[in-house]
């Protein structure tokens, strides 16, 4: 158990809908990262927040957005969902803002868009 929690574990929704994925980092960690993992694909970095502020952006679609709240939990919002958005979405946390810190991954949210 990494100490990172993600909800929900599974999500099935229809095209065009909007969903929110939630992540609580490990106690004491200030950085939250979001990743997308499609079938047979590696981990695609989406976005990073550090202590409430956006720190880095990766291959995140304009239909996707995220935020980190004062209690450091983070939410990833996915809208106008398409079939291709079906994937595992991981949240990871680390104590610092640098990539040299170990990242602790949550169990993921499996999103299925039908």
Partner 1 sequence: GQSLEQPSEVTAVEGAIVQINCTYQTSGFYGLSWYQQHDGGAPTFLSYNALDGLEETGRFSSFLSRSDSYGYLLLQELQMKDSASYFCAVSLTGYSTLTFGKGTMLLVSP
Closest CA relative to residue 22, chosen from 9, 12, 31, 13? 9
When binding is defined by CB under 8 A, the residue of 32, 68, 81, 104 that contacts partner 1 is 104
Does position 51 interact with partner 1 (CB under 8 A)? The reply is no
Beta carbon nearer to partner 1, 73 or 110: 110
Q: Is 85 helix (H, G, I), strand (E, B) or coil?
A: helix
CA 65, chain centre distance (Å): 10
Interacting residues toward partner 1 by CB under 8 A: 2, 4, 31, 33, 41-45, 48, 50, 55-56, 58, 88, 90, 92, 97-100, 102-108, 110
């Amino acid at each position: 158990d990494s100490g990172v929690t993600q909800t929900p574990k599974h999500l099935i929704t229809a095209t065009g809908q909007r969903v929110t994925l939630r992540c609580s980092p490990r106690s004491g960690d200030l950085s939250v990262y979001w990743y997308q993992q499609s079938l047979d694909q590696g981990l695609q970095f989406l976005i990073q927040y550090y202590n409430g502020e956006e720190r880095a952006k990766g291959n995140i679609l304009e239909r996707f957005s995220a935020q980190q709240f004062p209690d450091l939990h983070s939410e990833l919002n996915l809208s106008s969902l398409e079939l291709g958005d079906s994937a595992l979405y991981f949240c990871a946390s680390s104590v610092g803002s640098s990539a040299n810190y170990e990242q602790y991954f949550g169990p993921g949210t499996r999103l299925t868009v039908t």
